[in-house]
Chains A and B, each alone.
Chain A
Amino acid sequence: MILTAQKNIQTIKDLGLSPIKVSLSSTKELYALSGSSLEAHKFCLIKEAFTKHYDANKYYRGVCEEANVAPESIQSFKDLCKIPLIPVSEFKGNDSYKLLSVGLDKIELEVRSTGTSGIPSVSRRCSDTVDNVALGITSMYREFFGISKGACLFLCPPPEEIPEMGLIRLTNLLSGMLDTHQFMVNKGTFSAEESLEKLNQWEGKFDRHIMAPPFLIMRFIAFLKESDTSIKLDKNSYIITVGGWKRYTGEMMSRTDFDNACMKYLGVERHQIRDTYGLTESNIFSIDDEHGEKHVAPIGHFSVRNPKQLSEEVPDGEPGRLAILDPAAESTPGFVLTEDIVRILPGESKSGRSGQRIEYIERWADSTEFGCCAVNIDRHLCEAEAQNSAS
């Protein structure tokens, strides 16, 4: 199977094309492959990416040599878990330039995410990596939402206010497919009244979508509840959640309560509520399907590790610490050890798509911080409200 995948990739290269870019543009086709064919294809892409970073990145090569791992060590899909990982905390370091596999002069975009510590994790992307992330995320949106028109209410600040934030970049890629959109957090304040007004203005004109961190959708719902109002979004509407389920206070929000509140106050069915999972440090994005199963982008591999012995993978279905193997990362090695505990859903997917599906469980207990841009937005909104109430 691996030999066939290698030949296919060579054919793509012989045509002068990029195997990664062709793969990122073929999300639907990759999900339609058999499980073993998809694994073989991913294996080839990941091994090639590993070889590239091993050859180009002095720091990473040192890490590999210390671990006694070289491209020749990676011969089968099982060997992928030997690939040395970069903890996400290294993206926060003063010396994060050492992670670059390309010259700093090749970097086109810096994207950041800031959790509860306030220290930003900065991911630097070269031109090819920006191509890859744009192709990959857009292709995942098309696969899971099929959106090409409509209106979206983004319950978050506009890119103009925080242009480098990873979460906001996700809104940009979605808004380009729509007829219209509006950002509802402006200069540190969220107006639920204006959000309702906007949705009402769009009624009958567009399919209305909402994309936001869960806590902001719950704020909007709290307003609807207090004003004894409910709305009925459209049959093609989506409620798309980004940024995680933990409040800045540490409180974990219940997905079940969230879904029930959306169904009651926003008039959607459960299959219209879609959560996403992604990290600033990676280009691999995961989205819930119509059955609530979160699919990993088909070119990436989620390797779930035993938290007490990180070189070991846990069996599918068992919780463990997530390592992401991302062949779309060209500027820094895309082999990232996250601080998230997830499990791979065992068996076949309900939707018939091939590849991995995950369930996010919680933040790793020893993590020094949690959250991303969404947690910061949450904290700033709460602090601003507290100040307003005090004055």
Chain B
Amino acid sequence: MYNNTIMTHFTDPTFVGNIDSPEVEIIVGNSVCGDRIEVQLIVQGTVISDVSFRAWGCATSVATGDIFCNSVKGEKFEEIALRDRDYFSKMLGELEPSQRHCIDIMEELHTKLCRETRKLL
């Protein structure tokens, strides 16, 4: 049911937790199924210098939070903004139809990250 990327990030996440004084907080969720990811970030200049997340929901959506954090830490926000849906899909690996809503979650995380960090610039 789960590809290796999802298994690794779900069972051994690196970025779970809270940042004491986050500069940016983004929340992505679906009120019907209950998937919810909360991400906290610190931005230095245009670089995401620290990031953490908390997630609730299916294994794939929890893993999505960790994969997202892993992919943005240390990256420049203007480069993150260039990513597209094809890129998000590749980040998560091969998914079953019941897991593909996590591509939407990944896309929404990126959209909100760009929107919120722009406000800091």
A contact residues vs B (CB 8 Å cutoff): 92, 94-95, 97, 104-105, 107-110, 112, 114, 118-120, 122, 124, 162-165, 376, 380
Given contacts A97-B11, A114-B34, A164-B98, contact A124 B59 (CB under 8 A): yes
Contact B58 A122 (CB under 8 A): yes
Question: With a CB–CB cut-off of 8 A, which chain B residues contact A97?
Answer: 10-11, 59
Bound form: Cα–Cα A110–B33 in Å: 12
Interface residues of chain B, those whose CB is within 8 Å of chain A, are 1-2, 7, 10-11, 13, 16, 29, 31-36, 54-59, 62, 98
Are B7's CB and A104's CB within 8 A?
yes
Choose from A109, A122, A165 the contact partner of B57 (Cβ within 8 Å).
Answer: A122
Once the chains bind, are B33 and A162 in contact (CB under 8 Å)?
A: yes
> What are the 8 tightest A-B residue pairs by CB atom distance, in nearest-first order?
A120-B34, A114-B34, A97-B11, A119-B56, A110-B58, A104-B7, A107-B1, A120-B57
CA distance A110 to B2 in the complex (A): 11
Flag if A164 contacts B58 (CB, 8 Å): yes
Minimum Cβ distance to chain B for residue A179 (Å): 28
Question: In the docked arrangement, what's the CA distance between A282 and B57, Å?
Answer: 18
10 A-B pairs in the complex with CB atoms less than 8 angstroms apart = A97-B11, A105-B2, A107-B1, A110-B59, A118-B29, A118-B36, A120-B33, A122-B57, A163-B98, A165-B33
Q: Hey, which chain A residues are within 8 Å of B11, CB to CB?
A: 97, 104
Closest residue of A by beta carbon distance from B2 = A104
Taking CB as reference atom, which chain B residue is nearest A111?
B58
Indicate if the CB atoms of A104 and B59 lie closer than 8 Å. yes
User: Which residues from chain B contact A122 at a C-beta distance below 8 Å?
Assistant: 57-59
Bound together, the chains give a CA A109 to CA B29 distance in angstroms of 21
Nearest CB of B to A248, in Å: 12
Q: In the complex, are the beta carbons of B57 and A118 less than 8 A apart?
A: no
User: Which one of A104, A109, A376 has the highest number of Cβ atoms from chain B below 10 Å of its Cβ?
Assistant: A104
Question: For residue A118, which residues in chain B have a CB less than 8 angstroms away from its CB?
Answer: 29, 31, 34, 36
B10 / chain A contacts, CB cutoff of 8 Å: 97, 104
